[in-house]
Each structure stands twice: as structure tokens, then as C-alpha cells.
Structure 1
Amino acid sequence: MTIPQHRIVFLDRDSIVANLRPPAFAHDWTEYRATRADQALARLRDARATIAITNKVPLRAATLDRLPDLQMIAVSATGTDIIDLAACRARGITVSNIRNYAVHTLPEHTFALILALRRQLLAYRADIEAGLWQRAEQFCLFGHPVRDLAGSRLGLAGYGALGKSVAAIGRAFGMEVVVYNRSPVVDAGVTQVSWDELLETSDIVSLHLPLNDQTRNLIGPAELARMQRSALLINTARGGLVDEQALADALRAGTIGGAGFDVLTQEPPPADHPLLALRLPNFLLTPHTAWASTQAMQVLADQLIDNIEAWVAGAPRNVVA
């Protein structure tokens, strides 16, 4: 009897709603619908996993220290802040992630949030539900200013693949696109600006950055106060980029015009999260679904197996550690 060379454990299979083909090499496969952080060690150790797949289950140094068989972590997402990368490097564990799979779905969701807020869809829906249009004296109902995207300034913090796709849609709407990015930007139709200028002059600020020590709470009370009072803040990137209590305070105070978020620092959020208590027509929160179109999730699932097969073949790809 041939013993499979690799033992694969997928810790949170339900995080991907897609077909997942079997890897094209001998292996044992174990999957769990979901795994709590305190269950990860036992599940990986008991299976003597050589390959761990995780979307949002954290793997820190204390856990990795007790997994001598582990050789690869395949992250079924782009963000890798759940992994102790330094510990992986020290232990020779390869870490791969998923890249450029959401270049259509996330930008589309970004503009769904922008359009809903700029066109006042939530506010006017509430008015209709309250019977205001039905009692109006003319054919249309005013009360909430509607603003076009054409001619407005879209400020992008970060200009990777997703930022570039958002910029392309913005230009198609006739928007002026400005970018704050650490490396030089040379694309036609895009102007690179300082962080100060982006905050102070953009009609819409959209975040497309990873979460790390440099970007955590990048936008707090001081940054919100510097934005235009009519400006929108959009975050479809990572929870933790924005001080969420400061955002709730700014929205209540009218410091900024509105916000559309798809991510929070803690997911699922606790019942007392400051943004969940908001019932404002200028705030829209979606449950981390910007990435999750049917098409994008299948691309992700295929790339996940591609990454594992490439590593087993000795030609690792999408390596972050």
C-alpha cells in the first residue's frame, strides 16, 4: 500500500463557495466547515498535516512551534496578516496566497457602494417607505442632494491590481482619479498625489491597501477631520485600516458626507460594534462580500490548488514567505 506523501487539512472550507478540484498528486485530504482559532492546532497536529489551507483561521508562532510536519500554508485569500510570516520563514514553511482573482468583483462592489451613496438610494428608499413620495405635491421627491460621479475627484489609497481596476471604472464615469501610493505611478489618466492632498481634496476616498503595522488605523479622527464635509470614505480592502469608533463619531457629527464599508476589524462583528448601531442613510455596510462573486470564488479555488500543485512540483508560486 502506498502512503500518500502529503496530508492536506483545509481548516475553513465553507469560506469558499466553489468547486475545488483534487490536487494532482498523492495525498490525504481532510476538511472542516469552520475552525476556531483554539481548534487549529489539534486538527493540524492530529492529521500530521504537511499542508494547511486557511482563509481566516490564524496560525501564529505558538501554534507553528507544535506542528513539526507542516511544510506549507496555502492561504485561500490575498491577505496574510493571519499568518506569522516571520515564524514561517524561521521554520522553513512556505506560505502562498491568492492574487488578482477579484479584479472585477471588488471594483464593481466598490462602485455599488459609491453609487448608492452619491445617488442617495438609502435615503430615498426610506422616504418612500415612510410615505413621503406618496404624499408629495409634485411628480418627484427632493430632499437629499444627488451628486454625479462625472467631474468629481476619486482618491485611491493604494494602486495595486484592484486599485487600478477601480481607477479604470472611475475614468469611465468621467472622474478625475488621483492616487496615493508608495511606488511611482505612471499610468495615463491618473495623477499621483501626497497623502495630505488626497485626503483634503478628494470627493471620494477609496482604500485599497493591505493591513500591516504601517497601515493599521491609517484613518483616524485627525484624517477624518481633514476630509471634505461632503466626501465619502469607501473601504473594501481590510478591516483595521480605519478607526471604526472615530468613523461612527464622524458620521454622527457630519464631519464627512458618508461611508461605504465591506470590512470590519473583527469579523463577524460583536453585537456592540460601533458601526452596527448606525441607522444613517449615508452609511452602508455589507458583510465582507465584495470579493465573493460566483466567478471570483471559482478563480480563487482554482488558483488555490494551482499554488499547492506548483509547490509540490518544486516551482512554488505566489510565495509570501
Structure 2
Amino acid sequence: MKAVFLDRGSFPRDLSIRFNDTITSYVEYHNTLETEVAERIMDADIILTNKVVISRKQIENSASLKLIQVMATGTNNVAIEACQEKGVRVQNVEGYSAISVPEHTFAMLLALRRNLVPYLQEVQSGAWEKAEFFCLMDHPIKDLSGSKMAIIGSGQLGKQVAILAKAFGMEVMLVERKHQTDIRNGYVSFDQAIQEADIISLHCPLTTDTKNLIDDIEFKRMQNHALLINMSRGGIVNEEALVRAIESKQIAGAAFDVATQEPMPNSSPLFSLTQSLNFLLTPHVAWASQGAMEKLVQIAINNIHAFVESK
């Protein structure tokens, strides 16, 4: 079996990737352009990809392809229907970031709620030295305890976020799918959650159903002190609508780790918000703690070995 990793450079070099003897040939590329995919997977039995897109045409033209191992949770970079038609298995990796992403969620949330960024800037600028009293209180500080958090996406990540939220003394609302009228036990309707939540945290995949899940209509229904957290995928929130919501103060702020286009260009609507003190943006690193990456790679390798041995 030959395995090819198309974007090995998306992981640190010191992260070990080793296969057993069932993989007789292994080739890795730092990164792969769209125009290079077809040639590089031509004789591959197994493809490893983090974010490189595998299209229908590339799948149909691959001679020996049997497995695509996505080195992430989301599989939206693979033409799934084409794989099903050709009998190519697609495997993702779940559960590896169940600590990293929820911790990043609360790091961002605490930074917003306690206005950490502007306070850090005031210390750096020397404003504290000039203060009349022993402390500076130019920016409001709010506790998380007692807040209502709506969690959209109740998989492993959403459930872990709920555990942390309860530990902070927050009230948790698990949110039913949008437009769903049959509400599951323990859930609240999407519309109710959007209107009542102090904090809305997104942990769902990007699909045709969740694209632009949060748009102008939803922002207008939110409370004006609400915060929106997106550690999931770009495209779930309409970015232009987010700009309008923050600039018009329809919501109090937002924290994102993702963008619709990644790497995010400076022409992105999100970039225009990066100078705002009530908007935080990190470059898709919520998943990337050392422990999470090590776990991801080990799960993926085990998945590949299990597939090969089952054949």
C-alpha cells in the first residue's frame, strides 16, 4: 500500500508520523496546489489530507485510490459523493480536540467578557502610570457566572464546552437545529436560544444546512449585550452581517478562530473588524495544542492501519 500526505507542512515537523509494515511506501509533501493533486495521487492507495481539496475529477481519475484519511474533523474538502460512487472510503478524526477547542473557546470568551485586550493595551501604553487611583476601570468587566450560553452543535466539543460553562456557573442551553419544530428533550428551539442567550457558541460542522446559519435576521434577534463565539468553521456566520452587527452595536462583540477563506486575506470582512476592541480573531489554532495534534495523528494512523488490515 502506498500512502501520500498532501499537506504535511500543516503539522509541526517534530510531530512523528510512523506507519507499520502494512504501508510499504509513504510520500509526504509540504503542501500541494490544486494543479498538483492529480499527479501526486495518481498511484496512491491512501491519501492523507488536512485541508487540500480532493475533487470529483481527481477521485474519478485516480487508478488505485482506496482510502482518503482526512487529518481533521471536517470532511468538506473531499467530494464525498464521488468517493461513494467509486467505493473509496473517507475517514476523519474525531475527539482529538475535545480539550483544546473548549479551552480556547473560554480563553476568548473570558478575554471579551473581562476586556483583557484593552486593559493590556493600557498597561503597555503607560496609561496605568498616569491613573488617579490605584486601578483603571475604563472598560466594563462582566462575570460569566449567571450568564446564559447557547451551544449550537452538541457533539463532543459542544458537550465539553457545556461542562466548562456549568463549572463557571453559567446556564447552558443546547440548541435544536434551525427550523426544527420537534424539539428534543433537554434542548431549546433555535429561535428561543438566539433571543435569550447572553453568549452563543458555535460548534457545528459547515454543511448546506449550516451555511450562513447566523445572518442579519439572527443578529437582529440577539440581545444587544450578546457575544458570538465561532470556533467551528468559516461560512457558518455571514461575515458581512457580522460586521454590520458589531458596527451598529446590535451585539456586544464576537470572537472567531475561523474565516470563510483561509488563509484569510486582508480583503476579508473580518479583517475590517480586527482593530475593534470587541472583536477577537485567532488564525484557526483552537485545535492545535501539542497534545491535541499528537492525539489526532495517532488516531489517524490507527484508522489507516485498521482499514488496511480489514482489507
TM-score range (shorter-chain normalised) is: over 0.9
Tell me, what secondary structure is at the counterpart of 2:246? helix
Query: Residues 113-136 of structure 1: CA distance to partner in whole angstroms, max 9, x if unpaired?
Result: 000000000121233334332221
Which range moves more in the overlay, 128-137 or 28-37? 128-137
1:23/1:305 contact within 8 Å kept: no
1:108 pairs, out of 97, 103, 109, with: 103
1:151 pairs, out of 146, 155, 165, with: 146
Instruction: Tell me the distance in 1 between the aligned counterparts of 2:173 and 2:204.
Output: 15
**Residue 245 of structure 1: how far off its partner (Å):** 1.3
Query: Residues 217-261 of structure 1: CA distance to partner in whole angstroms, max 9, x if unpaired?
Result: 100111111111111100001111001111122111111111010
Residue 37, structure 1, aligned to residue 34, structure 2:
yes
Query: Residues 31-88 of structure 1: CA distance to partner in whole angstroms, max 9, x if unpaired?
Result: 001112221111111xx00111101001111111211211110111010000111110
Residue 167, structure 1, aligned to residue 162, structure 2:
yes
TM-score (norm 1): 0.92
Tell me, what secondary structure is at the counterpart of 1:313? helix
Task: Provide structure 2 residue ranges, at least 5 long, that are not aligned to the other structure.
Answer: none
Counterpart of 2:283 in structure 1: which amino acid?
A: P
Please tell me the root mean square deviation across aligned C-alpha atoms, in Å: 1.4
Query: Residues 84-105 of structure 1: CA distance to partner in whole angstroms, max 9, x if unpaired?
Result: 1111000000000101111100
1:152/1:175 contact within 8 Å kept: yes
Task: Provide structure 1 residue ranges, at least 5 long, that are not aligned to the other structure.
Answer: 1-5, 316-321
Residue 310, structure 1, aligned to residue 303, structure 2:
no
Tell me, what secondary structure is at the counterpart of 1:251? helix
Tell me, what secondary structure is at the counterpart of 2:173? strand
Q: What residue is the counterpart of 1:234 in the other structure?
A: 229
TM-score (norm 2): 0.94
Q: Provide closer, same or farther for how the CA distance between residues 203 and 26 of structure 1 changes in structure 2, counting only shifts above 3 A.
A: closer
Counterpart of 1:31 in structure 2: which amino acid?
A: E
1:299 pairs, out of 280, 291, 295, with: 295
Tell me, what secondary structure is at the counterpart of 1:277? helix
Residue 27, structure 1, aligned to residue 24, structure 2:
yes
Instruction: Tell me the distance in 2 between the aligned counterparts of 1:13 and 1:22.
Output: 15
Instruction: Tell me the distance in 1 between the aligned counterparts of 2:21 and 2:228.
Output: 44
Residue 286, structure 1, aligned to residue 282, structure 2:
yes
2:146/2:169 contact within 8 Å kept: yes
How many residue pairs get matched? 304
Instruction: Tell me the distance in 1 between the aligned counterparts of 2:11 and 2:301.
Output: 13
Question: Greater relative contact order (Cα 8 A, min sep 6): structure 1 or 2?
Answer: 1
Q: What residue is the counterpart of 1:87 in the other structure?
A: 82
Residue 196, structure 1, aligned to residue 220, structure 2:
no
Instruction: Tell me the distance in 2 between the aligned counterparts of 1:314 and 1:195.
Output: 42
Counterpart of 2:25 in structure 1: which amino acid?
A: D
Residue 224, structure 1, aligned to residue 216, structure 2:
no
Q: Provide closer, same or farther for how the CA distance between residues 185 and 175 of structure 1 changes in structure 2, counting only shifts above 3 A.
A: farther
Q: Provide closer, same or farther for how the CA distance between residues 62 and 139 of structure 1 changes in structure 2, counting only shifts above 3 A.
A: same
Which range moves more in the overlay, 24-33 or 94-103? 24-33
Counterpart of 2:290 in structure 1: which amino acid?
A: T
Residue 252, structure 1, aligned to residue 260, structure 2:
no
2:73/2:92 contact within 8 Å kept: yes
1:125 pairs, out of 120, 145, 160, with: 120
1:11/1:52 contact within 8 Å kept: yes
Instruction: Tell me the distance in 2 between the aligned counterparts of 1:169 and 1:8.
Output: 39
Runs of 4+ residues deviating >3 angstroms: 181-186
Counterpart of 1:97 in structure 2: which amino acid?
A: N
**Aligned-pair identity (%):** 44
